């Protein structure tokens, strides 16, 4: 390897940050970047040749619980855009990686990145693109119905409707006022790591098999980032069942896509994200 080639500089930005004392916190909001980046162990290898920072994301203003519906996503989307703008303006980064499964504000962030010549990748976008390289159709495993439906809109927006076999909902809603946390994700993960039965993993396997057998999925990806930890577990279980099907997760996908784009010096087409002051314009745009 050409060791004179410098590592690309990435900023990873969480979708939002809960206030420190919130009883709804489900991922670390303090500590070194390797702690704040959930499932760090699963992406460590793809970050090995990256010079990266982590931004904890905007503090939620809708309350002290995770954003889980359209309204709340709209708030965190707007607030994260300002972080993206500042990061691009700082000149410190070659690419921005938006963390979080639902990609709030992703397309808007790409517009900002485009104006600075900096690629921005998101976890849903990247999983869909990579999944489409591997098989003819993918299915999404998602955490709860409102997220799954929101994700369905992202699939349409990213023009992957023909590639998406289904979105399979395992219905483990994130806690919020009025919604208790029956199966805390962290606990589920600990059980799975300990080799104990995890309800969440079992449901995930059941839905993944249904996606393969009933919906025509040939690749599996994840929706809400709170499901990403399931990737290695689901991959192993499917292989054990005899299903030779790749399972992706969003963070490594978004990091790898950012590397690919940086390596080709690409970000996005100026026709897809027209400048507010374009040099040349089209008379006719197609939907």
Residues 213-272 that bind a second copy (CB under 8 A): 213-219, 241-246, 248, 252-253, 256-257, 259-261, 263-264, 266-272
Q: Residues 94-133: x/- map of binding to a second copy (CB under 8 A)? A: -----------x-xx--xx------------x---xx-xx
Question: How is residue 181 written in tokens?
Answer: 């946390």
Least separation in angstroms between CB 133 and a second copy: 6
Closest CA to 138 of 150, 147, 146, 129: 129
Q: Is 70 in the site for a second copy (CB under 8 A)?
A: yes
Number of residues that bind a second copy (CB under 8 A): 112
Choice from 35, 134, 187, 193 touching a second copy (CB under 8 A): 134
Taking the least distance from each CB to a second copy, the nearer of 37 and 141 is 141
Q: Is 135 in the site for a second copy (CB under 8 A)?
A: yes
Residue 22 in contact with residue 176, Cβ under 8 Å?
Answer: no
Q: β-strands 95-98, 138-142: how paired? A: unpaired
- Binding part of the chain for a second copy, among 19-27, 88-96, 185-193, 207-215 by CB under 8 A, reads 207-215
Q: Is 35 in the site for a second copy (CB under 8 A)?
A: no
Q: How far, CA to CA in Å, does 83 sit from each of 5, 59, 192, 209? A: 28, 11, 35, 39
Q: Residues 36-65: x/- map of binding to a second copy (CB under 8 A)? A: ---------xx-xx----------------
Helix (H, G, I), strand (E, B) or coil at 34: helix
Residue 52 parent element (H or E):
strand 51-55
Burial track 39-67 (b if 16+ CB lie within 10 A, e otherwise) = beebbeebbeebebebbbbbebebebbbb
Q: Is 27 in the site for a second copy (CB under 8 A)?
A: no
């Amino acid at each position: 390897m050409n060791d004179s080639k410098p590592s690309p500089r990435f900023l990873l930005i969480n979708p939002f940050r809960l206030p420190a004392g919130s009883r709804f916190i489900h991922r670390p909001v303090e500590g070194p970047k390797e702690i704040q980046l959930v499932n760090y162990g699963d992406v460590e290898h793809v970050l090995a040749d990256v010079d990266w920072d982590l931004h904890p994301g905007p503090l939620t203003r809708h309350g002290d619980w995770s954003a889980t519906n359209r309204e709340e996503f709209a708030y965190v989307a707007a607030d994260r855009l300002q972080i993206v703008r500042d990061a691009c303006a700082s000149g410190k980064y070659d690419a921005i990686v938006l963390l979080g499964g639902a990609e709030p504000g992703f397309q808007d962030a790409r517009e900002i990145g485009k104006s600075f010549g900096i690629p921005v990748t998101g976890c849903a976008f990247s999983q869909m693109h990579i999944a489409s390289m591997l098989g003819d159709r993918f299915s999404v495993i998602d955490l709860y119905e409102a997220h799954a439906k929101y994700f369905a809109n992202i699939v349409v927006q990213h023009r992957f409707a023909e590639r998406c076999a289904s979105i399979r909902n395992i219905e483990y809603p994130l806690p919020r006022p009025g919604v208790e946390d029956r199966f805390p994700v962290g606990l589920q993960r600990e059980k799975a790591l300990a080799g104990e039965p995890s309800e969440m993993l079992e449901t995930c396997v059941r839905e993944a098999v249904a996606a393969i057998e009933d919906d025509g999925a040939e690749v599996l990806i994840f929706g809400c980032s709170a499901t990403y930890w399931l990737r290695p577990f689901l991959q192993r279980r499917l292989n054990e069942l005899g299903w030779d099907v790749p399972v992706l997760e969003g963070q490594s996908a978004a990091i790898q896509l950012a590397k690919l784009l940086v390596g080709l010096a690409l970000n996005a087409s100026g026709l897809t994200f027209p400048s507010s002051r374009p040099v040349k314009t089209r008379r006719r745009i197609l939907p």
